[in-house]
């Protein structure tokens, strides 16, 4: 109860700061109330939904690809000690590359349109998921690995009954970061060389200096991201506590 | 070099060689990707001609400023949040979902606040880097041995003195992780902001070359950024390892 009160207080403080900023620079920043009204109008307008659906579709595919690919890479590399040691610095340095620079390459491969956005989102999300999954497998308790040997489990059995359940808490942490970055990747993809999607809406509004639209889209994205993230954080805590 | 190091070199080298072969044999069209050796040659010529120097200096300057701001600011904010446990519990989910927000959209706001020029780009780099540093500071402060915190209490240190003389040194390994992430995020933020919005800098030069079908220049600059970031990462990685070994961790 006290915790939710604190959250409400924090949100209230944020809104007050936002309102004060709005009063300082009214042309650059819409007020919280104005943003809410604009967001409500957009949600009720027919032109908004195709863009939201486009972003949602690209994000969903990108996230699924990032999860599948990241887990395959991470679990595959983590199973073997040498391959994990070889791969870790490579993955970490790929992770910290400014991937925007690679966007032209992706556009040249996939052409303009949804596939390029999906590929760009996947590129952002796949690496953190792989890194977390790999470290999760590497840090499994040795006694579990010995049990696998004693029981002579097959590779599939090992993966399904020991590795994935044992590594699940870490994997969920990776998914949380992968989720955020995939969304960011899809949006950046839409902000450059795109004609549809929420990123395009933002870019278009920037071009027209339509501040209320910019703020409304960001606010809606922000709320969706925070809610999804809070859910995964809750899952994360639960899994880590169960494991401990 | 260790055996693992050699294998790693072999893997990366093999990958580059494979791309080189695919490009040279025409399996990958030069309209999509040019050969890595060609990128290096074009980059060399570009650097000699001096055309890109202004953009390079501008981008590196932006990264450096936003890095300094986000590391010092992130440490200060992290230390302040850590001192207030109630605020910290409430703010955690927001910090965790922070990176899903498209800050680039705030660029017009920053132009109004800081004017045209590097201020707006630096602000986006700072927004990207600062939260990684805040999270790392919180993590580091969580793991400070209780006895050290007690020592600070016994000596009646104020919050600032305790933060700088006790908490900062004992949280260094975690802060190091934060600095590493902040470097990566500042690069990402600055270059992405330049790529999408600004009208100067390396990111802008790449987007400009893309729009003009100037693949040679585009790949030369992309190659430059990738090599630069990889070198910076590798330097930090080795330095961190040495630091850890000296501290016996």
**What are the structural domains of chain B?**
52-246 (1.10.3720.10)
Residue A78 CB contacts under 8 Å (≥ 6 apart), including other chains: A84, A133, A134, A135, A136, A137, A138, A167
Contact A188 B105 (CB under 8 A): no
Domain A32-243 grouped into CATH 1.10.3720.10: yes
Statement: residue B125 has pLDDT above 60 = yes
- Mind listing the pLDDT tens digit of every residue in chain A (244 residues)? 567 788 888 889 889 998 998 888 787 788 888 889 998 998 888 888 999 999 999 999 999 999 999 999 988 888 788 888 888 888 888 887 888 888 888 888 888 888 999 999 999 999 989 988 888 888 777 888 888 889 888 888 887 888 778 888 888 888 888 888 898 889 888 887 788 888 888 888 888 888 888 888 888 888 888 888 888 888 877 877 765 5
The whole-number pLDDT of residue A105 equals: 85
Tens digit of pLDDT for each residue in B81-100?
Answer: 988 888 888 888 788 778 76
The whole-number pLDDT of residue A69 equals: 95
The whole-number pLDDT of residue B133 equals: 92
- Band of the pLDDT at B122, cuts 50, 70, 90? very high
Distance from CA of A1 to the nearest CA of B (A): 12
Residues of A in contact with B203 (CB under 8 A): 98, 100-101
Statement: residue B33 has pLDDT above 90 = no
Average pLDDT of span B123-127: 91
The whole-number pLDDT of residue A67 equals: 93
CA distance B87 to A98: 32
DSSP string, A103-149: HHHHHHHH-SSHHHHHHHHHHHHHHHHHHHHHHHHHTS-HHHHHHHH
- Band of the pLDDT at B248, cuts 50, 70, 90? low
CA distance B199 to B111: 12
- Window 183-202 of A: residues touching B by CB (8 A cutoff) are 183-184, 187-188, 191-192, 199, 202
The answer to whether the CB of A59 falls within 8 A of the CB of A65 is no
Which of B6, B29, B102 is the best residue to mutate to test the A interface, defined by the most A CB atoms within 10 Å of its own CB?
A: B102
Chain B touched by A82 (CB under 8 Å) = yes
Task: Locate the domains of chain A by residue range.
Answer: 32-243
Distances (CA, A) of A121 to A63, B27, B190, B227: 7, 26, 19, 23
Chain B touched by A235 (CB under 8 Å) = no
Question: Helices H, strands E: what count in chain B?
Answer: 12, 0
The whole-number pLDDT of residue B51 equals: 83
Contact B113 A109 (CB under 8 A): no
The whole-number pLDDT of residue B71 equals: 94
């Amino acid at each position: 109860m006290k915790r939710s009160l604190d959250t409400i207080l924090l949100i209230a403080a944020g809104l007050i700061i936002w309102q004060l900023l709005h009063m300082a620079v009214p042309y650059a920043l819409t007020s919280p109330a104005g943003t809410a009204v604009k967001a409500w109008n957009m949600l009720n307008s027919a032109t908004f939904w195709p863009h939201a659906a486009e972003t949602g579709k690209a994000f969903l595919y990108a996230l699924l690809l990032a999860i599948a690919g990241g887990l395959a890479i991470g679990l595959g590399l983590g199973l073997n000690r040498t391959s994990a040691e070889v791969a870790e610095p490579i993955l970490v340095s790929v992770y910290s590359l400014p991937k925007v620079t690679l966007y032209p390459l992706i556009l040249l491969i996939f052409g303009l349109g949804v596939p390029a956005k999906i590929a760009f989102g996947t590129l952002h999300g796949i690496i953190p998921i792989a890194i977390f999954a790999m470290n999760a497998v590497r840090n499994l308790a040795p006694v579990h690995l010995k049990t696998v040997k004693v029981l002579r489990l097959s590779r599939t059995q090992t993966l399904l009954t020991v590795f994935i359940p044992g590594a699940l808490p870490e994997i969920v942490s990776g998914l949380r970061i992968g989720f955020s970055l995939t969304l960011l990747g899809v949006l950046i993809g839409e902000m450059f060389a795109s004609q549809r999607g929420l990123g395009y809406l933002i870019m278009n509004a920037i071009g027209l200096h339509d501040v209320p639209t910019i703020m409304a889209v960001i606010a809606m994205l922000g709320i969706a991201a925070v809610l999804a993230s809070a859910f995964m954080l809750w899952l994360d805590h639960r899994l880590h506590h169960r494991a401990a | 070099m260790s055996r693992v190091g050699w294998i790693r070199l072999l893997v990366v080298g093999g990958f580059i060689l494979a791309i080189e072969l695919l490009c040279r044999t025409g399996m990958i069209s030069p309209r999509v990707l040019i050969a890595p050796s060609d990128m290096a040659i074009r980059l060399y010529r570009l650097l000699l001609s001096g055309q890109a120097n202004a953009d390079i200096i501008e981008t590196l300057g932006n990264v450096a400023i936003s890095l300094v701001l986000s590391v010092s600011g992130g440490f200060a904010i992290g230390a302040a949040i850590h001192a207030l446990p109630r605020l910290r519990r409430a703010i955690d989910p927001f910090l965790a979902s922070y990176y899903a927000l498209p800050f680039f959209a705030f660029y017009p706001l920053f132009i109004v606040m800081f004017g045209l020029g590097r201020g707006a780009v630096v602000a986006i780099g700072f927004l990207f880097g600062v939260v990684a540093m805040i999270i790392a500071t919180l993590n580091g402060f969580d793991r400070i041995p209780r006895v050290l915190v007690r020592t600070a209490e016994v000596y009646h240190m104020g919050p600032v003195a305790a933060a700088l003389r006790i908490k900062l040194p004992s949280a260094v390994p975690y802060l190091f992780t934060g600095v590493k992430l902040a470097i990566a995020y500042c690069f990402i933020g600055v270059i992405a902001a330049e790529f999408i919005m600004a009208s100067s800098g390396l990111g802008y030069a790449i987007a400009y070359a893309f729009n003009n079908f100037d693949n040679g220049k585009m790949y030369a600059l992309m190659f430059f950024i990738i090599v630069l970031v990889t070198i910076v990462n590798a330097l930090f990685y080795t330095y961190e390892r040495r630091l850890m070994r000296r501290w016996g961790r």
